Amino acid sequence: MANNKQVTQITSMDQDFAQWYTDVCTKAELVDYSGVKGFFVMRPYGYAIWENIMNWLDGEFKKTGHENVSMPMFIPESLLQKEKDHVEGFAPECAWVTVGGSEELPERLCVRPTSETLFCDHWKNILHSWRDLPMKYNQWCSVVRWEKTTRPFLRGREFLWQEGHTLHATEAEAREETLQMLEIYARCYEELLAMPVIRGNKTDKEKFAGAENTYTIECMMHDHKALQSATSHYFGDGFTRAFDITFQDRNNQAVYPHQTSWGFTTRSIGGLIMTHGDDRGLVLPPRVAPTQVVVLPIAAHKPGVTEAAEKLVERLKAIGLRVKGDFSDNSPGWKYAEYEMKGVPLRLEIGPRDLENGQAVAVRRDNQEKVFIPLAELENAVPALLETVQQALFDKAKANLDSHTWPAQTVEEVKAKAMDGFVKTMWCGDAACEEKMKEAAGVSSRCIPFAQENLGDTCPCCGRPAKHMIIWGVAY
Amino acid sequence: MANNKQVTQITSMDQDFAQWYTDVCTKAELVDYSGVKGFFVMRPYGYAIWENIMNWLDGEFKKTGHENVSMPMFIPESLLQKEKDHVEGFAPECAWVTVGGSEELPERLCVRPTSETLFCDHWKNILHSWRDLPMKYNQWCSVVRWEKTTRPFLRGREFLWQEGHTLHATEAEAREETLQMLEIYARCYEELLAMPVIRGNKTDKEKFAGAENTYTIECMMHDHKALQSATSHYFGDGFTRAFDITFQDRNNQAVYPHQTSWGFTTRSIGGLIMTHGDDRGLVLPPRVAPTQVVVLPIAAHKPGVTEAAEKLVERLKAIGLRVKGDFSDNSPGWKYAEYEMKGVPLRLEIGPRDLENGQAVAVRRDNQEKVFIPLAELENAVPALLETVQQALFDKAKANLDSHTWPAQTVEEVKAKAMDGFVKTMWCGDAACEEKMKEAAGVSSRCIPFAQENLGDTCPCCGRPAKHMIIWGVAY
């Protein structure tokens, strides 16, 4: 009965990156295609990654004074229409409930694509005085957007996310909040997911429907394309005026508060796959991996081996690591392939010879390097090695980003590098030039990075004076 | 500006229990009525209670080997129809999505009222061999059921819950799982929520649509009405046959697996309110309370008082308690009323005289009892007092249950006691007698309790030989 399961092959990244991606998603058992067109099942292994991300983010949200709430999943059409830009952006991709029970509804309800309007509707009921501010809320839920083409994690008709919504007495405080949350997102990518990010401003063309400013973090995937990885929006008082939400300030004047929202989605898992994965499958950074170490007995029938492997599992669990021992009768070869596919950061083997030598053999997933670990040093050596792997993954991704970000002076130079990474140029700030670059070079503006450089004085599209440095790329 | 906020009065329980309940829900800031008819907003304080319940349950689910997943929120009509009893039970209360983006859908999608059909659809893809079993999955999400009348927590068109779905090789294992999960639910009520429960079997009439057996836990509210508090279902192979899900057993035979599901909802918070609350508002058991202790400085302007109160907060946080200090300029009277309304289990006051005496004054929410706590004993005394409160709340609820559960021999006796608690009688097992009792006495069958008693030999409805003792009640 052993070796019943087959070692599954996946498409090579270089041969077909898109096929490689979907192979990893299904073969590593992260998702299943559901019978509902455009919707995915997140399987236990995929959801466990999301749980680790949720725990990290939720901890940071609470440390910064945010509270979780739950809002209705439906929005009446009239409510969605209250803010003009917002409804224009979202109405075309809503799913509409028109029948409840056996009755046609008097007003159709859209399944939330995002919840700004619901939060505003609630705030109107509960906000009275400056003493009630700030209101810093967050919601963990799923939202629906009726996409035409879908891919696991990257684009689905439903995705899981958190959406933060806050209200502040002043513009300054709201802007500070918007940037604070972007920074938490950036740290989540860098510290937890080992993914370097570029922080910046979206152009007016690319900002969120109804926002005054949208801040973004952009990541580069292994194939050098861009992934918009999380966004944070400053709304000013546009929604609060549209919904007529006011509070009494300290001088008893009725004032419109300032608003933010910010979201982080399961798309991050798609980014994780496309940043670190390789031809053997998924590669997970230790801090976010559901299983950090898999312990395998080698020649398990030999005296003492199974017991020694069990002891390893026990000792590593005792120091808080997420460890799994595989004592099944599958062959070592099958097990190697299985845990490589699943991206487990460290494989720890112990066999008769290791027992004699008082050691275990650790094999890193990221570079296949073997490290001999004296059993006496287990509790120090394994966590240290996991941190080494975490840092190595970040460094490798950073090297990819740095070596594939190109300065350019002309539209032709942008076009030449468009499929080979990010291209940075100066820009006059005019939407017409942004459009022109898109048409001529096949790229979209990713962001105006906070870290500006001076690459010249003029816009490559129109020759007029430049206002900013901007980053272009081909995006998922 | 102090005392700006008014101490809000609520309706007395004895005067109008239903109005008292909705008063507590809104005045304790647990929920807000949303602009979407029949849908509620769970505000931070209400959601924090749910988070504590989720953490407790999720921990138990994982300890017993369950994994979290995420399924689509929509079910195509054809999928819902695959199991005959199931669709009959749920189709009449579904919300239907008929438009996606700007297009009429070829097949309408119901917003999940429960997800058995989605899990079956997924299992059909991924189940192959006996080695894949058991599959023990859970999902945290919200579901929609188009109810006509709604009340916060108790009955809404959307509610939050977890739904567990498992698949097993044998009937025995599936039945064991069903009972194991019911027992976890019962312990959640008893240990976390301080609510005594009755464990039992639902009658055929009251069981879940498509189930072979539904186990339930029933609680008694302060007004002596029943709340069905959580259920666990054994399905046999009804769904797996309908969906044609098989696995290869150890003899290479294709076999239909056995299935369970079990759910626990935010309705539990409604039960919590109606079990422990009083005319001052909410009363929360310490283990589930978002704030376990509120520290109030008395005469805060006197030297050393504020610092001493801050020190109390710090020391209690250090031992892991959920503590809040209120250093606002609201009056002590306002603060007393506020934290009583919110059901904070313990109020800890410290003023100039207490400072002199090296003590703090603890006031219990459940019975207003004052306890002097020497500051040197803080870290032992406060947790011990919280446990005393937890136990006292359980004992009080248990006394209410025991003193309002009545044995009866005739339909008339049942009718006489129907509005005054649970009534237990013998029963022949015939659905006609169950219906007769309902019509004659205005009660529904709550359960056939696991703890059976012999109250006689015959059914009070038909006089034929009795099979079980059954419990009747008026239910929410």
Question: B181 is written with which tokens?
Answer: 């999960």
Mention the CATH class of domain A293-384: alpha beta
Residue A102 is predicted with a pLDDT of: 87
Instruction: Report the predicted TM-score, pTM, of the whole model to 2 decimal places.
Output: 0.96
> How far is residue B371 CA from its own chain's centroid?
31
DSSP A124-165: HHH--BGGG--EEEEEEEEEE---SS-BTTTB-SEEEEEEEE
Chain A environment of B51 (Cβ under 8 Å): 68
> Per residue in B392-425, pLDDT tens?
999 999 999 999 999 999 999 999 999 999 999 9
Question: B352 is written with which tokens?
Answer: 């100039």
Residue B8 is predicted with a pLDDT of: 65
Is the pLDDT reported for residue B2 higher than 50?
Answer: no
Q: Which of B40, B44, B73 sits opposite A68 (nearest CB)?
A: B44
Chain A environment of B135 (Cβ under 8 Å): none
Q: Which of B70, B96, B158 sits opposite A72 (nearest CB)?
A: B158
Say which CATH superfamily domain A17-276 falls into. Bira Bifunctional Protein; Domain 2 (3.30.930.10)
Phi and psi at B140, nearest 5°, equal -100, 120
For residue B42, give the DSSP letter: E
Q: How far apart are CA A286 and CA A290, in angstroms?
A: 8
A107: burial class by Cβ within 10 Å (0-12, 13-18, 19+)? exposed
Q: Domain spans of chain A?
A: 17-276, 293-384, 405-473
Q: How far apart are CA B400 and CA B421, in angstroms?
A: 9
Residue A3 is predicted with a pLDDT of: 42
- The shortest C-alpha distance from A427 to chain B (Å) reads 35
Determine whether the interchain pair B121/A67 forms a contact, defined as Cβ–Cβ distance below 8 Å: no
> Per residue in A207-219, pLDDT tens?
998 999 999 999 9
Instruction: Decide: A53 and A268 in contact? Cβ < 8 Å.
Output: yes
Give yes or no for a cis peptide into B352 (omega within 30° of 0): no
Cα dihedral B264, B269, B275, B281 in deg (nearest 10): 180
Separation of first and last alpha carbons in chain A:
43
Phi and psi at B332, nearest 5°, equal -55, -40
**Right CATH for B293-387 from 3.40.50.800, 3.90.920.20, 3.30.390.10, 2.60.40.1180:** 3.40.50.800
Predicted ipTM of the assembly: 0.96
Q: Which of B122, B142, B158 sits opposite A34 (nearest CB)?
A: B122
What share of chain A in percent tops pLDDT 90? Answer: 95
> Per residue in B211-258, pLDDT tens?
999 999 999 999 999 999 999 999 999 999 999 999 999 999 999 999
Strands B40-42 and A135-144: unpaired
Q: Is the dihedral of CA B380, B383, B389, B394 positive or negative?
A: negative
Question: A393 is written with which tokens?
Answer: 């993954």
Instruction: Decide: A171 and A123 in contact? Cβ < 8 Å.
Output: no
Q: Which of A40, A98, A102 sits opposite B92 (nearest CB)?
A: A102
For residue B7, give the DSSP letter: P
Closest to B430 (Cα-Cα) out of B470, B389, B396: B470
Residue B6 is predicted with a pLDDT of: 53
Residue B110: which residues within 8 A CB-CB, separation 6 or more?
B74, B75, B77, B80, B91, B94, B95, B96, B97
Chain A environment of B95 (Cβ under 8 Å): 74, 97, 99-101, 109
Determine whether the interchain pair A41/B96 forms a contact, defined as Cβ–Cβ distance below 8 Å: no
Is the pLDDT reported for residue A145 higher than 90?
Answer: yes
Please, what is the average pLDDT of chain B?
96
Identify any residues that bridge with A161 across adjacent strands, giving them in sequence order: A141, A265
Mention the CATH class of domain B407-473: alpha beta
Closest to A141 (Cα-Cα) out of B143, B44, B266: B143
Say which residue the tokens 């879940």 belong to.
B208
Does residue B71 sit in helix, strand or coil?
A: coil
Identify any residues that bridge with B151 across adjacent strands, giving them in sequence order: B155
Q: How far apart are CA A436 and CA A443, in angstroms?
A: 10
Does residue A24 sit in helix, strand or coil?
A: helix
Q: How far apart are CA A437 and CA B314, in angstroms?
A: 58
Q: How far apart are CA B134 and CA A338, in angstroms?
A: 20
Chain B environment of A122 (Cβ under 8 Å): 32, 34, 41
> How far is residue B329 CA from its own chain's centroid?
37
Instruction: Decide: A442 and A415 in contact? Cβ < 8 Å.
Output: yes
Residue B463: which residues within 8 A CB-CB, separation 6 or more?
none
State which fold the A405-473 domain adopts. Answer: Translation Initiation Factor IF3 (3.30.110)
Phi and psi at B257, nearest 5°, equal -80, 165
Across B318-329, average pLDDT? 97
Q: Quick count: other Cβ atoms within 10 Å of Cβ B96?
A: 22
Question: B240 is written with which tokens?
Answer: 């797996």
Does residue A366 sit in helix, strand or coil?
A: coil
Determine whether the interchain pair A47/B68 forms a contact, defined as Cβ–Cβ distance below 8 Å: yes
Instruction: Decide: A313 and A359 in contact? Cβ < 8 Å.
Output: no
Is the pLDDT reported for residue A183 higher than 70?
Answer: yes
Residue B312 is predicted with a pLDDT of: 98
> Per residue in B14-59, pLDDT tens?
999 999 999 999 999 999 999 999 999 999 999 999 999 999 999 9
Instruction: Decide: A71 and A122 in contact? Cβ < 8 Å.
Output: yes
Residue A1 is predicted with a pLDDT of: 34
Please, what is the average pLDDT of chain A?
96
**Burial profile B150-161: b = 16 or more Cβ within 10 angstroms, e = fewer:** bbbbbbbbbbbb
